[in-house]
Structure 1
Amino acid sequence: MNVLIITGGSNGIGKAIAEKYTLEKHTVFSISRSKTTNVSYQQITADLSNTSEAVNTIKTVFSELDLNAISSITLLNNAGSLGEVNTVGNLDFEKIQQTIQLNTITPLVLSNEFIKLTKELHCKKQIINISSGAATSPYSGWSIYCTSKAALDMTTRVIAIEQNEVDNDVKCVAIYPGVVDTNMQAAIRKTSEKEFKNVQHFKELKENNELYSPEFVATKVYQIDIQNQLENGDIVDIRTV
């Protein structure tokens, strides 16, 4: 049995990835604040911005698994938020906290639990973090998002270094999906130029049909995974692999 546990699998990239892995005969568990319809993978509703709820939910997933039957198991940290788009000095402090919680703290917490819960499993074990080019490219108005994704990349690197030092390790990698036609992109295009001076560029990407589809990204992520293209700690843009 090949298992995928994915956060934010109810829409966008997450839904497309969950559907792709299900199609490829994986047992898929989606953890998200909402459910979607007409899918065959298992959906668990949870507020991932609540640390205790996130931890309890992944423990519940493991309690439902026959660990002796697992050939591979993956935690895919996909859930995230753009957060408030505005310059520093004009942000709501609670929105800063909420976005950092979801984009950075929750993946770290879930990765911590995943490594604990798989310690005795001798099979392919991995964590895939969906990050962003914004982790390395600063955008005016995106301080929260850029910061949270940069932190996620560092989390990836640190976990990889730690796991390289132990037997029966967990691989940890991060993938930049490129600019994808999702609800997040729609929200970006609605921001004002005062709040986000690069907004016109993203509008033009949509107008020129230069956005990736979630399905394209899902296929690329699956290929990278199954073909074992990445080493522990790698952080890659799907446009380069």
Structure 2
Amino acid sequence: MSSADLGRALCIITGASRGFGRTVALQMSRSVKSGSALVLAARSGDELRALQVELSGSEAGRAGLKTVCVVADLSQKEGLESVVKAAAEAFSEDMEHIILINNAASLGDVSRFAKDFTNMADVDSYLSFNVSSFLCLTASILQRFPQRPGLKRTVVNVSSACALQPFSSWVLYCSGKAARHMMFRVLAQEEPDLRVLNYSPGPMATAMLEEGRSRTGDSGLKKLISDLYSDGKLVACEDSCAKMMKLLLEDKFKSGDHIDVFDV
């Protein structure tokens, strides 16, 4: 493998149907060798299939890139298992790189403050999709594709500044991102052969940020988000993804590090 590409790879992308995940799928298709496969997982089947059609008509698709769509709710055991099964079926022995992009996430109820979360079921539901499934999918992929000579393994957590900094009324989102961040730092210590990256893509014009702009309970944070829009300070998904791909291609980051889009 050279820095010009990521090799003949099996790449699993969660939350691939829209926003940053969709952009990752498109840019990844141009960064892997012929004979690679993309496993695209999301809850929205129609959007996934539209992406698959776009990829199959691209230069990479015509050059032999295989794409597999998995409509799955990762908060459910069956959803997680279906992604691992699809990855196993898409893998071929001549592949030299396994890449897992953990992008799927939800914002949670940002209209409420920490003191308002008295219902354990609400919190459990959020953590199941954003934290539990994140760890279990990563572990399942690592078990399914264990370390062996000639096989490089890379796992990415699409993180956020919220993993490191508190934001009022975003208690679920901040807590979930902080948990994922630490899980990957631990993983990097436990698995020295593994390449582990926490990548914060910055504030992007996605459906998630739009939800934050309209529903955030903290007035100061709500204004800050609105100002990002009005001041033209949002990061384009394509630009942020290009920086993540640069990190993966150059492969010089310290495993387990948290790297922000503005630091690349």
Q: TM exceeds 0.5? A: yes
Question: Helix, strand or coil: the match of 1:29?
Answer: strand
Question: Helix, strand or coil: the match of 1:188?
Answer: helix
Aligned pair partner of 1:72 in 97, 121, 128: 97
Displacement after TM superposition at 1:89 (Å): 2.6
Identity %: 25
| Length, aligned pairs only | 235
- 1:100 equivalent in alignment to 2:127: yes
87-96 or 198-207, larger mean C-alpha shift: 87-96
**Alignment check: 8 A CA contact 2:188 2:195 kept:** yes
Unaligned runs of 5+ in 1: none
Determine the C-alpha separation between the residues in 2 that align with 1:215 and 1:50: 30
Q: Deviations over 1:62-111 (max 9, x none)?
A: 12311x11111101100001101110232354332222112211110011
Determine the C-alpha separation between the residues in 2 that align with 1:120 and 1:145: 32
230-239 or 50-59, larger mean C-alpha shift: 50-59
Match of 2:75 in 1: 49
Question: Helix, strand or coil: the match of 1:89?
Answer: helix
Determine the C-alpha separation between the residues in 2 that align with 1:231 and 1:51: 32
Q: CA RMSD in A?
A: 1.6
Question: Helix, strand or coil: the match of 2:215?
Answer: coil
49-58 or 176-185, larger mean C-alpha shift: 49-58
Match of 2:188 in 1: 160
Determine the C-alpha separation between the residues in 2 that align with 1:59 and 1:120: 18
Determine the C-alpha separation between the residues in 2 that align with 1:49 and 1:197: 32
- 1:8 equivalent in alignment to 2:35: no
Alignment of 1:1-241 (within 5 A): 1-25=8-32, 26-35=36-45, 36=47, 37=50, 38-40=53-55, 41-66=67-92, 68-85=93-110, 86-91=112-117, 92-122=119-149, 123-164=151-192, 169-191=193-215, 194-195=217-218, 197-241=220-264
213-222 or 142-151, larger mean C-alpha shift: 213-222
Q: Deviations over 1:134-155 (max 9, x none)?
A: 0111111011111111000110
Structure 1 counterpart of 2:124, one-letter code: Q
Determine the C-alpha separation between the residues in 2 that align with 1:19 and 1:49: 25
Cα distance change, pair 140–160 in 1 and its aligned pair in 2 (3 A):
same
Structure 1 counterpart of 2:105, one-letter code: G
Determine the C-alpha separation between the residues in 2 that align with 1:190 and 1:93: 25
Determine the C-alpha separation between the residues in 1 that align with 2:130 and 2:241: 20
Determine the C-alpha separation between the residues in 1 that align with 2:219 and 2:9: 42
TM-score using structure 2 length: 0.84
Cα distance change, pair 190–21 in 1 and its aligned pair in 2 (3 A):
same
Structure 1 counterpart of 2:97, one-letter code: S
